[in-house]
Amino acid sequence: MSRHYDVDAVRKEFPAVERMVYLDSGFQTPLARPVKAAIELFLREGFETAGPKSVWLDRVEQTRAKVARFLGVTADEIAFTKNTSESMNVAANALPLRAGDNVLMIHGDHPNNAYAFLHLQRKGVEVRFIPMTDVVDADSFAPFIDEKTRAISMSHVTFHAGHRFDIESVGAMCTRKKLYFVVDVMQAIGVVPVNATAIGASFIGSGSHKGLLVPQGLGLLYWDKTLKEMEPAYLAAASLAEIPDDLIARADRMAPSPAARRFELGNFNLPAVHALGASLDMIEQIGVQNIQNHCFDLGDHLIARLDELGVRLVGPRERKHRAPHIYVIALPASDWLGHFEENGVRVSPERDGIRVSLGMFNTATDIDRLIDVIRRRGLGRPSAAA
């Protein structure tokens, strides 16, 4: 069923996907057995022993190290947050920006990225939006950069049409022009390989309830630790270089940790962090490159079947520019969502159609079932194949 790994074995780890045609990983992941086992272990420990907290915190550090390896960086460059929004807000508020400076973003990019930066307008920072086109790379931003431009913030993969932007070229340009570069990888991570060093990012933010397979409420932040001028906007004991032994706060010892921990606040979402340790093991075992290639193959199959039906794909078609796993098809969501629901197909409504999003467990049979459900209803409506 896959040229890249044993997808039938992987599928058995996700019981929900046997009960429906699950094509909605871009919304949230179904849970896998190893993730459930990690959360159950945490609950059992809490129930039976009131929690060995030192063991729980050790697992946090092990997971931090796994996240770092996964992103090609070191553990002291990784912080845990609540979600992508928090990571983007941490980044936006850590950049040393002044009134009159400007930040470039892409019009229509995810609001949880955009608002973090738009909120800096109250400090006099300007946010400039460049147009969203199928291809966004360094050349797309270049005409908008002036002597007051300090940063670019963008998504790697878009949630609403599955663009996969050329963040490497943007990162290289940011390095050349000494701009900060902030990347939201929420829709990419776990399916598209993400190497923070190769991207040349100052910050990378993500949540973990899509490609990273964990329930909502856990986010990640990569910070390039050479950028020491990045100060946290909020502070807690855990953010400090030296936490006082007697836990009495001292105004004269407030230097932030030299590690990304400077951006962490208080206790962790322990069950979710433990679950992430388990899901990263799963992903690493299969190989993110293999997951990407498998999803690309399924995407090729989907595009070919849509072409047969005469249904248009909204986002880019070519592998070079598209995400492997996110496809928006030009069927009006208001007309079609109910039909998919009635037929046991889980997809999402999007700006310009129905979003079909893939996970490591999907097969060509899932795509064929989706196509059958479309075909059975028929495309008599003029808007369907527009």
Ligand X SMILES: Cc1ncc(COP(=O)(O)O)c(C=O)c1O
Q: Are 298 and 258 in contact (CB under 8 A)?
A: no
Whichever of 25 and 187 has its CB closer to ligand X, that residue is: 187
Whichever of 162 and 277 has its CB closer to ligand X, that residue is: 162
- What is the full DSSP assignment across 134-201? S---HHHHGGG--TTEEEEEEESB-TTT-BB--HHHHHHHHHHHT-EEEEE-TTTTTTS---HHHHT-
Rounded Cα–Cα distance for residues 92 and 233 (Å): 9
Rounded Cα–Cα distance for residues 308 and 314 (Å): 16
Task: Select from 110, 163, 164, 325 the one that contacts ligand X (CB under 6 A).
Answer: 110
130 three-state secondary structure = strand
Paired residues of 103 in beta bridges: 127, 151
Rounded Cα–Cα distance for residues 371 and 229 (Å): 52
Angle value at C-alpha 207, between 202 and 209, nearest 5 degrees: 155
**Among 92-100, 183-191, 346-354, 363-371, the segment contacting ligand X (CB under 6 A):** 183-191
Whichever of 7 and 67 has its CB closer to ligand X, that residue is: 67
Whichever of 200 and 219 has its CB closer to ligand X, that residue is: 219
Min CB(234)–ligand X separation in Å: 17
Residue 182 backbone dihedrals phi, psi, to 5 degrees: -115, 130
**Among 77-85, 220-228, 296-304, 335-343, the segment contacting ligand X (CB under 6 A):** 77-85
Whichever of 85 and 102 has its CB closer to ligand X, that residue is: 85
Contact flag: residue 83 with ligand X (CB under 6 A): yes
Q: Are 206 and 220 in contact (CB under 8 A)?
A: yes
Contact flag: residue 25 with ligand X (CB under 6 A): no
Min CB(127)–ligand X separation in Å: 17
Q: Is 43 exposed, middle or buried (0-12, 13-18, 19+ CB in 10 A)?
A: exposed
Task: Select from 2, 25, 63, 85 the one that contacts ligand X (CB under 6 A).
Answer: 85
Task: Select from 29, 63, 112, 348 the one that contacts ligand X (CB under 6 A).
Answer: 112
- What is the full DSSP assignment across 253-294? --PBPSSGGGG--SS--HHHHHHHHHHHHHHHHH-HHHHHHH
Provide the residue type at 375 as one letter.
Answer: R
- Total number of residues that touch ligand X (CB under 6 A): 13
Contact flag: residue 84 with ligand X (CB under 6 A): yes
Task: Select from 24, 77, 166, 184 the one that contacts ligand X (CB under 6 A).
Answer: 184
Min CB(264)–ligand X separation in Å: 16
What's the chain's length in residues? 386
Min CB(82)–ligand X separation in Å: 8
**Among 55-63, 83-91, 143-151, 303-311, the segment contacting ligand X (CB under 6 A):** 83-91
Rounded Cα–Cα distance for residues 127 and 6 (Å): 46
Between the alpha carbon of residue 259 and those of residues 87, 119, 196, 332, 336, the distances in Å are 15, 26, 16, 47, 49
Contact flag: residue 328 with ligand X (CB under 6 A): no
Contact flag: residue 207 with ligand X (CB under 6 A): yes
**Among 106-114, 238-246, 275-283, 307-315, the segment contacting ligand X (CB under 6 A):** 106-114
Binding mask 211-250 for ligand X (x = CB under 6 A): --------x-------------------------------
Min CB(83)–ligand X separation in Å: 3
Interaction site with ligand X (CB under 6 A): 83-85, 110, 112-113, 155, 159, 184, 186-187, 207, 219
